Amino acid sequence: MKKEEVIVNELDVKDDSQLEIKTEAEIEKRDDTVNNRSEDYKEKKKPIPSYGRKKIRERKVTIVTALSDTEERTRSLAAYKRSKQKIKKAKSDNEPQKKIKREVNIPEHITVKELASRMTEKSGEVIKSLMKMGMMATINETLDADTAELIVTEFGHSFKRENIEDVEKELISKDLKAAKDKSRSAIVTIMGHVDHGKTSLLDKIRNTNVVSGESGGITQHIGAYEIIHKKKNITFIDTPGHAAFTDMRARGANVTDIVVLIVAADDGVMPQTKEAISHAKSASVPIIVAINKCDKPESDPKKIKEQLLGEELIVEELSGDIQCVEVSAETGLNLDQLLDSIILQAELLELKANYETFVEATVIEANIDKGRGPICNAIITNGKLSIGNIAVAGTEYGKVRAILNDKGQNIKEACASMPVQVLGLNSAPEAGDSLVTVESDEKAKELCELRSLIRKSKLTPKKIMNIDNEQAFGSLDNLKEVVEVVIKSDTRGSTEAIVNQIEDIQSEKVSIKVIHSGVGFINETDVALAFF
């Protein structure tokens, strides 16, 4: 048997040395392949020098290597990001963006800027839309709710009407458990024509002399006084009777429980008397007629009662329900009977209040004193005011530093139906504003901001109107000379009355424009504003 043909045929062999061997040539070939594999493995296992000094030098960037074109430069990370952004922008430009539809809350009046902000649109686009509708408006112009609805609809949004006054009521601190279960004294307003003896009659009741301090014997401000009659308190509000103080009389009627209408027996029912009757009727308060100057020989009370019939005021003597008392401020005739009539009317009204809850009051006048600062004259209608309370009067707020009664005496607390002077506000509020107390400074600031927003929104809003070129250019020929006026007075009520009278003046050649009005002394700033 030849050597090449030797074959091991044992089937039970398990060792590698006993494996089947075919030929000697195959054995030699197998040995060579094993040797080659081992050498390749050794070469692969050999470490590659990557952190040597030579490699580090090669990685350094020098001027020569940067300017040489031997190696191909790779893109930086910033360039890669820019290219990605360009691709992304190109895709977004090709695809139309979906417009987000919003629900816009629209108050009764809103500025163009605020409307654009709520729609998340550009103010310029809103102004363009208004110009297309024939309305020339700036970014700070006030729009009415109907115009704002049209703009919102045109931009593809939905709208919802909101009432800012409801939001204001939610901010005012209230004690829901505090019920009005205690009786309070009546707040009485003295109204009537000028020089019919309103203040003189009140002086006789108070045994004081207020008329001597008034300019020309005419009451310029709203005064509030408290008296005691038969162990019951009565608060009187004396309103001016001159025609310039119509707004002040209106505020007096809105805060009062009973109106005492003074009519001079020797004069009769005058225009301001009729106006006072209208204010009292609009406020839905009962009226007590006091016919003054009955001590004069030319007085005729029956004539006055007949004239009142024309104003739908029927006195009890003529089978009506209006109490009428003939009095005299000079002799004090029937003053007790007048006070009895007031107390009787107050008992019929069943006036109630709570003396422990948050304060609700009305500002009847405000001024700035040189030594004490802003002074707020108010009448409390509910609650108890104490020193240290945080008060909000209109758009002004502050911590109550002092409380004075109608006699000028310092008191620590004031309850419902009391006329008081409040010190501590940061500025003088407007006459007729609501005064309330709140829990914290944060709530006071929020309430002031909301009230200022309401006041701005109540300015005359712009409405859509068609503008023709002939009208626009034709109006230039009818230009009037504008006289700019700065008004300063001692109280807010007098300022508003003077402003209203000046703005009502009509002239074909001159138009008067009140550029500033305020309370206090005239300073250099006011003079500079008036001249420049």
More reliable by pLDDT, 250 or 381 = 381
Give ranges for CATH 3.40.50.300 in the chain.
184-351
**Which of 195, 192, 248 is CA-nearest to residue 223?**
248
Alpha-carbon gap, residue 248 to 440, rounded angstroms = 31
Contact residues for 315 (Cβ-Cβ < 8 A; gap 6+): 289, 305, 308, 322, 323, 324
Give ranges for CATH 3.40.50.10050 in the chain.
474-531
Residues 406/384, Cβ–Cβ less than 8 Å: no
Give ranges for CATH 2.40.30.10 in the chain.
360-457
Alpha-carbon gap, residue 297 to 266, rounded angstroms = 9
- In this structure, the number of other CB atoms found within 10 A of the CB of residue 495 comes to 22
Average pLDDT over residues 332-361: 90
pLDDT of residue 532: 55
Average pLDDT over residues 306-323: 89
pLDDT of residue 512: 82
> Is residue 88 pLDDT above 90, yes or no?
no
Q: Which amino acid is at 173?
A: S
pLDDT of residue 323: 92
Q: What is the pLDDT of residues 354-380, one digit of tens each?
A: 888 999 998 888 888 888 889 998 999
**In the block, which residue shows the tokens 């001597």?**
212
Residues 6/23, Cβ–Cβ less than 8 Å: no
Q: Is the pTM of this model over 0.85?
A: no
CATH number of 360-457: 2.40.30.10
Q: Is 358 helix (H, G, I), strand (E, B) or coil?
A: coil
Residues 106/152, Cβ–Cβ less than 8 Å: yes
Percent of the chain with pLDDT over 90: 15
> Is residue 82 pLDDT above 70, yes or no?
yes
158 token code pair: 């939905």
Fold of the 103-170 domain? Arc Repressor Mutant, subunit A (1.10.10)
CB pairs under 8 A, 24+ apart, for 35-44? none
Q: What is the pLDDT of residues 175-218, one digit of tens each?
A: 777 788 888 999 998 888 888 888 888 888 887 555 555 555 55
Average pLDDT over residues 273-278: 84
* Size of the chain, expressed as the number of residues it contains: 532
Alpha-carbon gap, residue 146 to 133, rounded angstroms = 13
Contact residues for 497 (Cβ-Cβ < 8 A; gap 6+): 244, 245, 246, 247, 248
pLDDT of residue 161: 80
Alpha-carbon gap, residue 490 to 18, rounded angstroms = 128
pLDDT of residue 469: 43
Task: State the Cα angle at 463 between 461 and 465, rounded to 5°.
Answer: 150
139 token code pair: 């970014």
Q: Which amino acid is at 67?
A: L
CB pairs under 8 A, 24+ apart, for 273-277? 273/192, 273/193, 273/196, 274/311, 275/243, 275/246, 275/249, 276/191, 276/192, 276/193, 276/241, 276/249, 277/311, 277/313
Mean per-residue pLDDT of the chain: 78
Q: Which of 25-39, 89-103, 315-329 has the lowest mean pLDDT?
A: 25-39
pLDDT of residue 344: 92
Percent of the chain with pLDDT over 70: 73
> Is residue 392 pLDDT above 80, yes or no?
yes
Q: Which amino acid is at 61?
A: V
Exposed (0-12), middle (13-18) or buried (19+): which is 506, by Cβ within 10 Å?
exposed
- Considering the segment(s) 474-531 as one domain, its CATH architecture is 3-Layer(aba) Sandwich (3.40)
Taken in order 190, 193, 198, 199, the sign of the CA dihedral is positive
**Which of 408, 366, 416, 364 is CA-nearest to residue 189?**
364
Alpha-carbon gap, residue 135 to 346, rounded angstroms = 54
pLDDT of residue 398: 93
Superfamily covering domain 184-351: P-loop containing nucleotide triphosphate hydrolases (3.40.50.300)
Confidence of residue 222 (pLDDT cuts 50, 70, 90): low
Average pLDDT over residues 155-168: 79
Confidence of residue 53 (pLDDT cuts 50, 70, 90): low
Highest mean pLDDT among 86-100, 186-200, 475-489: 186-200
pLDDT of residue 191: 86
pLDDT of residue 3: 42
Q: Is 15 helix (H, G, I), strand (E, B) or coil?
A: coil
